[in-house]
Every structure is written in C-alpha cells, then in structure tokens.
Structure 1
Amino acid sequence: MLAQDDAVIFVGAGISMWSGLPSWPDLIGELAEFLESEGLPADSVRREKSRGDLLQAASLGFDLLTKPQTGQFLRRSCRYGIARPHEIHRKIIGLGPRCFITTNYDNLLEIALQTWLPDRPVRGPITNRQLMEIADIVQARSLDFVFKPHGDIQDVESVILTREQYRALLPGGDRHAALESLKMLMATRPVVYLGFSLRDPNFYFIRDLLANTFKGGTRDHYAVMPDTATDEERFWRRNYGIHLVSYPTECGQHGALLKVLDELAPSSSVCASVALDATLSPEELLRLARYADGLTRAPRVEREFPLRVHAHRVAWSRGKTSVDFCHEGQLSETFLVDGPPRAALVGPPGAGKTYALRRAVASLAEQLHDACLAEPLASSSVIVPVYVDLKFYRGDLEQQIEEALPPRLSLDRLSRTCRLKFFVDSFNELPREYLDSGVCVSNIANVLDRYPSATVVLGSRSAYGFDRLDFPTYDLDRIDAEFVSATLNRLGLSLEGDFGRLRESFSRSRFILI
C-alpha cells in the first residue's frame, strides 16, 4: 500500500514527542504554568485536565490569553526554532509516500523533508487559511504536499486547538473548506496513521471523519499504534474501515515503533543513506567546550537596559509586504535565543544590536559549555552558536563560518550532530562590492539551503539589501516601558499629562537613564 503513488502518511503528536515536544496532557500542563506566569488563574484548566477533558481545558486557558500571549505560548510549547527532527522523522519520510497530513503545529516534518530529501519540491505547509492550495491538493494526481488542517505555528491565526476553534471547521465556519478537503483525501486515498493513540483527542477528530465517510466494504487505512487489543482491532476495522497495527511498549517507551518503520521501509529507501550521526567523540566535545568557553567571555556592561523588539515590514519574494507580529514586544534576549528560525534585527547606530547579538551568543555558549561537560550528552539537543561579522566578508560565508569554528570540527560535521544557530552581524557594513551586487545575499541563501535546519539572525542598521531573503524583520529601538517607569520612580519623578507622553518617548528612544 505504501508503494501506491497517491498514498498519504498522517502524522500525529506522538511523532513530535520524539523531538522533545509535549504530549497533549503535557501541553495543557504547560498552558496552566504559562497562565500563572502571566498572573492569570489556572485552576479551571488543571481541573478539566484532571477530568480528562483536554479540549475544554484548552478552551478555558486560551480564552484568558491575548493574541500575542497565545503566539508566545504556542511557539514555546512547539519549541519553535529549537526542536530538531528526530531519526524517526527520517524513517517516516523514507517510507515512500510523497503526501503528508499532520495535526501538529510544529515544522519538524517540513525540516525533515528539506534536510533528507532536499531535491524533492514539497508544497507546504498548506493550512486551513489557504483556500486555493486546499482545493488543489484534493486532485487525484496531486503529490508532494504537507497539509496542516489544524494550522501551523508560523501562522498563529491558523491554529485550531480549542472547541471554539474547531467549530470554524464545521459547515458555515470560515475554515470549513479545510475539513471538506481532509474528508475528500481520507475517502479517496490510502492512508497510514503514525503518532496517534486510541485516546488521542486528535484521533477522536479523525474517528468522526472516518465515521462520516466510511460506507462499509474495504478501505486502505492503517494505523500503527501501541498496545492495541484484538477486540479493539476488530471494532475499528468493522466500524471505521481502519486496520490497527499494534506494537508493544516497555515502561512507556516506544522503541518498537522504530523497528516497525524499518520493516515497512522499502529496501531502496531514498533516505537510507542519509542518517544522522548523533554522537561526538570525547576529543570533539573538548574542542566544542573550549570554543563555547571563548564565546562566553563577551564583555558585559555593568548596567543593561532591557530592550524590546517590534515588527518591521516584511518583504516577500513576490513584491508584497506584510507585517509579522509573532514576536511583538519580546525582550531582545528572549527573541534572539528562542525566537524565529529566520529573522533580521534592525536598528540605528548605537541601538545595541551588536551587543544584543553577542550577549545572545554568550548565553547559548554557556548552555553549550555545560552540555559538553554533562554525562550523557544529548548532542541532538545542543545548540552551537556561531557569530559572523560581515565587515570581514570576502565572498564566501560558509568559509567564514568554518573559520569561526574550532579546528578539526567542520560545519558539515556539526550540522549532523547538533543544532546550529548563526548570528550574522553588520550586514549594512559589507564591503560595497558585495552589497551592491547581491553576492552576499545569494551566498546567505545558499548556506541556508545547504543547512536547512540551522537557524539564523541577521543584524543590520536597515532592511536595505536583504529583502529577497524573506526574513521577518524586527526593530530594536525601544527600552522596556516598565524599566523606564521604575527608573523614574527611583529618581522621585512623577510624569503625568504631557510629561507622561514624554515618558513614552523615553521608552522609544535610546536616552540613557541614570
């Protein structure tokens, strides 16, 4: 069945858990903790979680959050820009099918396809807000897509997580086209479900869709699930036309699933020769620890002003512009360490861009140094920061990155064992011949194509010159308003009326507050 051209793999949350993302119950637990960290009540969320009504818990929790808070929580829970595809992702995309559906909001599946099948053009993510693309993928010969009917973390408005949001998929709802396309795909194509359990809320959703489309007879739907019983397998086959393929767990561990995927994989899997080497030798760890120690020594001023970022115009390749508010108002350190996988940070001279970039590198380097000395080391969860100053660019960014790394530890080697984060500073100070000709921009794009799972932050005084990279762009030019107020209060100053507006001006400028 996997060899059929139109076969679909439907990926659930259990697959993302291999990369460190939370399960449904853990997600609700993190939601309760986030609410409390924001000074909001969480008792009702925990109560519904204890009753097993996770959807109601989500509804109660998200109803208390603003849109920026919702985006911040979802990015944090999805480990956005941090999580890396696991070996299980490589096995899944190597099974043969070229079409994927997922109820997950993260981008691990897309990164896996870019990493291990870079020569295969895949459309996606296609969310419930892209009506034209949704209409296209239901065509019988449509291939090479990733359909995300419950939304994608890069488009928070598309995310469907609560009962109220699920109603948008029902007849009359503004996302109903996504539901109809999903039903069409499930009714007309062979499907393999991975990463679900029989008690998964998302599988309840699938169960209802199957009930609406199953008219008896045979159906090429298979679900690989843990610890199912014979009577359960008979029930699902008879009532929903889905064949359960069971594998055993030991102490809650799902290692047997990897063996099942190996047995299902074709002998000439396109990914068979591209495996991650997830180990570093003791000598390599020592080099990496020394490298990290050097980065932690970036000078730190005695008194730092907490700076916040806000969204700048985002230029798209088709010549359109939009505004990205995903990380609006975040503190610069949070933005640079835990922010989007691709971003540009702009600000006038003296705004603190270089200092913020170097402090973010130092923060990640401290974590890297500690991880290198820990036992055991989970190298696939380690972030290796690399700082590059484009004032010294000479036409080869990859070579410049290599020169920043420790000796005998290549960029290619690290990309296969760790997560890389490039901090590329001083774009506006490029040698003129590379800026005007666009050579550096092409070079950056090529490096990102070669290392698609790497994250990058680009620093510049303006957005001029790199718009075709399609980086969401943020301005660094605001001092935290609470810090301004606290400092004025400390000085015994009370500013109201016109003077209150002056206080707001202070927070939007780079005045030094003593």
Structure 2
Amino acid sequence: MNKTNSIPNSYVEAKRLIQEAKKDDQLVLFVGAGVSINSGMPSWKDAVEQIGNLLGISEIDNSDYLKIPQYYYNSHGKQAYNSLMRKIFKDGIKLPVSDIHRKILRFNPRTIITTNYDDLIERASEEHGEIRQTISQDIDIPYRKYNKELIKMHGDFIHDNFVLKEEDYLNYSNNFKLIENYIKSIIGSKVLLFIGYSFNDPDLKQIFNWVKNIVGEDMRISYLINADSEYDENEEQYYKKLGIQIIYASRLNQNSNVSTNISNNLNNVLDYLLGSSNNLDLVDNIYTELKEYDEFAYLTIKYLNNILSKYSLYISNNLFLCANPDNRRL
C-alpha cells in the first residue's frame, strides 16, 4: 500500500469517520457478492452468464441481469429454476470462510445487511463465538432478541424466498414489507459501509434507490468500497450527490492501478479502514466488543480469546495476556 501522504485526504477522513461510527455503535455494513468470491461463490455477472449459456444467450448486457433469470424461469418453470439456482450458488456446499468475512466482523457492527444467500457470515460469527441473529423473512422481525443481527434482505434458500429474477425485484415491497421498512429506517439513521458490490449489481441499484429517496440534508454520508474498477471522477461526483463516497481500491494501491483480484483489493481497503492509529484505538475496540457481555455473571477464556484473536492477542492458560502475531488457532 502506498504511503499515507499519497492517500487522498477524503479517504483519511473517511477512515476516521468510519472508525468513529464503529466506536459509537453507529456503523452498519452492507455485504454483497464480491465478499464471497474468494470462498468460491460466483459474482452476479458470472451467475447470470451461466444461466444465459443454458439459454443459448452469449452476449449479456448488465441491463439483462434480472431478465436472464426470469427468462429461464418462464421457459422451464419453478422446480427447474430453483434447482439450477441452488446449483449455481452452491447451496448445501460448505465453502471456506475467508479473511474478508473475518475482517467484516472486526468492525463489530450491531447490524450486517447482506444480499447474499450463503451462510459464510453466520459461520464466521460462530467461529468467533459471536451471537448474531439471522433475519431472512418478515416473520423474523417481531422475534428479534439478540444484540447483533444479520439481515438477509434478499432471503435465502432455506426459506425458498431468494430474490434473483426480475419478478422478485418488482414484487419485493409486497414480499418483504417489514424487512424493507426496517432497512429504510436504518438507512436514515446510521453510517453505511458497502462492501463487495459492483456498480452493475441490481442489488446496489435497489438499495441506492432507497438511499436517494431517503437522503436529506442531515443524513450521514455513506461509503462504498470499489474493488473492481479504476478511479472515475465523474462516477465519484455522481454518487457523491447521492450522499455516497466511493473508496477506490486503485487509489490505495501502490501502483495506482486496481488489481484484477477483487478479493485482494477488498482485503487492502479493509486493512486500511480497520488500521489503528495508536494503542488507544486498539483498547477502545476491545472494550467496545467486551461491553456486549457486561451483564454476564462470568465469561470463559474461550470466549475472551474469540474476541482477542481478532487483534492478534490471547489469554494463556496461566492467565497472561500474550501476543499472537500469526493469529494461530488456539
């Protein structure tokens, strides 16, 4: 990564504001398909191309991303469609949790909202001993009881309510009334960080449409990590008017060019945003995470180490606080 003095001032300030929101429990993460690519999941583009190939469609414009799945559904029916989507999105296959998923949890967000269908965030949470409730259908909203939540705003395969084809997007407000209203209330009151989205994703267009309608003078700015394209000033200004600051991986890259490896780009930006400027930041971050357990009568070393491991620390069997620079499993 480049030297600090070559990083745009707006990115330095974005990092400060994101870390401040993190500390104040005001940060909400939106997680898209790019986060799971390194674990073996397809991007939106790859998934649609696979469907298009089966329909004999070789050239696909990004405006067709919702139409292609709809074409397949219309031609082959619900059973064949559901079966193919489960295959393409690797339903039932235990994919590996990546460093990106682990770094997402280091932001310690109370709320994570994802348009993905996989269970990688759930498993990353379990790996770190974190209790995070999953909400993937309207009926889950009244039964929220845990401090931390994962909102699967586009459903999942477990409940057979996944949103993918054009018809699903058109009927979204009817099928996910409570979830939509809940997310809109979050958009208007929190700092948002979008991770793993491409500007071609219909998911992003849907969410940005909500942001655009809710934006007001007092709304906090949102942030989006662009990990798959070069810096574009016109694009930057366009989204700035929507209240969204883009953080381009290419502008944090030593060669000022974006890598073709989206996962590497995401990792680089997340490392930058999570980087602590001093030891007080580290202590504050650990303290914020431990506050979740302040009503517990006791806490075992295992759960303490699940938290400390995120910061390359651990408590030994003889109760010493030790460094764990290689982040070994304990």
Normalised TM-score (structure 2): 0.70
Alignment of 1:329-340 (within 5 A): none
Aligned residue-pair number: 257
Indicate which of 238, 254, 274 corresponds to 1:265.
Answer: 274
Q: Are 2:177 and 1:180 aligned? A: no
Larger Rg: 1
Report whether the alignment pairs 1:247 with 2:279. no
Give the letter aligned to residue 186 of structure 1.
I
CA distance in 2, matches of 1:76, 1:166: 21
Counterpart-to-counterpart distance in 1, 2:146 and 2:274: 22
The aligned counterpart of 1:108 is 120
Question: SS of the residue aligned with 1:155?
Answer: coil
2:238 is equivalent to residue 235 of structure 1: yes
Partner of 2:85: 74
Report deviation, 1:68.
3.5
Q: CA deviation at 1:50?
A: 4.2
- Matching residue within 153, 158, 162 for 1:159: 162
Does the alignment pair 1:20 with 2:24? no
1:21–1:13 CA distance, 2 compared to 1 (3 A)? same
Contact 2:189 2:220 in 1 (8 A): no
Q: Give the CA deviation at 1:259.
A: 2.1
Q: Distance in 2 between matches of 1:216 and 1:64?
A: 47
Query: What CA distance in whole angstroms lies between the structure 2 residues aligned with 1:100 and 1:222?
Result: 14
Segments of structure 2 that go 5 or more residues without pairing to the other structure are 1-20, 251-256, 277-281, 286-306, 314-327
Per-residue displacement from partner, 1:245-265 (whole Å, max 9, x unpaired)?
A: 111154522323212211222
CA distance in 2, matches of 1:48, 1:205: 24
Partners in 2 of 1:94 and 1:13 — Cα distance? 19
| 1:83 partnered with 2:95 | yes
Q: What SS does structure 2 have at the residue aligned with 1:147? A: strand
Quote the offset at 1:153 in angstroms.
2.3
Between the aligned partners of 2:200 and 2:182, the Cα distance in structure 1 is: 24
Tell me the secondary structure at the aligned position of residue 2 of structure 1: helix
2:26 aligns to what SS in structure 1? coil
SS at match of 1:224: strand
Seq. identity, %? 25
SS in 1 for 2:246: strand
Q: Which residue of 2 aligns with 1:198?
A: 199
1 or 2 for the larger relative contact order (CA 8 Å, sep ≥6)?
2
**Aligned counterparts of 1:209 and 1:11: Cα–Cα separation in 2:** 16
Q: Amino acid of the residue matched to residue 214 of structure 1? A: V
Residue 195 (structure 1) shift: 0.4
Hey, what's the Cα distance between the residues in 2 that align with 1:264 and 1:4? 16
Q: Counterparts in 2 of 1:365-514, with a 5 A limit?
A: none
Q: Does structure 1 retain, via aligned residues, the 8 Å contact 2:34–2:196?
A: yes
1:434-474: CA deviation from partner (whole Å, max 9, x where unpaired): xxxxxxxxxxxxxxxx9xxxxxxxxxxxxxxxxxxxxxxxx
| Consecutive unaligned residues in structure 1, runs of 5 or more | 37-41, 275-415, 418-449, 451-514
Q: Deviations over 1:148-187 (max 9, x none)?
A: 111112222x1111111112223xx232222222211111
SS in 2 for 1:196: coil
| Correspondence for 1:482 | none
Structure 1 length normalisation: TM-score? 0.46
Q: Segments of 4+ in structure 1 off by > 6 A?
A: none
Distance of 1:51 and 1:235 partners within structure 2: 19
Pairwise CA RMSD of aligned residues? 2.8
- Equivalent-residue separation in structure 1 for 2:311 and 2:41 (angstroms): 25
Q: Distance in 2 between matches of 1:17 and 1:68?
A: 26
Q: Secondary structure at the match of 1:64?
A: helix
Shift of 1:218: 4.3
How far apart, in 2, do the equivalents of 1:136 and 1:4 lie?
25
The aligned amino acid for 1:260 is V
Q: 1:122 aligns with which of 129, 132, 144?
A: 132
Report the 3-state secondary structure (helix = DSSP H, G, I; strand = E; otherwise coil) of the residue aligned with 2:182.
helix
Deviation of 1:83 (Å): 1.5
Quick check: 2:198–2:226 contact (8 Å CA) kept in 1?
yes
| Superposed displacement of residue 217, structure 1 | 4.0
SS in 1 for 2:267: helix
What amino acid is the match of 1:121?
A: I
Alignment of 1:307-386 (within 5 A): none
Greater fraction helix? 2
Aligned equivalents of 1:230, 1:78: Cα separation in 2: 34
CA distance in 1: counterparts of 2:231 and 2:23, whole angstroms? 25
AA matched with 2:224: A
SS in 2 for 1:18: helix
CA contact 1:223–1:245 (8 Å) conserved in 2: yes
Contact conserved, 1:7 with 1:189, CA < 8 A, in 2?
yes
Going from structure 1 to structure 2, the CA distance change for 1:251 and 1:220 (only over 3 Å counts) comes to closer
1:145 to 134, 143, 149: 149
Q: How far does residue 10 in structure 1 lie from its aligned partner after superposition?
A: 0.6
Q: Separation in 1 of the partners of 2:150 and 2:39?
A: 19
| Cα distance per residue 1:338-395 (max 9 Å; x no partner) | xxxxxxxxxxxxxxxxxxxxxxxxxxxxxxxxxxxxxxxxxxxxxxxxxxxxxxxxxx
Give the drift of 1:90: 0.9
Conserved? CA contact 2:138–2:178, under 8 Å: no
CA apart distance, 1:47: 6.0
Partner of 1:99: 111
1:57 partner SS: helix
Residues 3 and 97 in structure 1, CA contact (< 8 A), matched pair in contact too? no
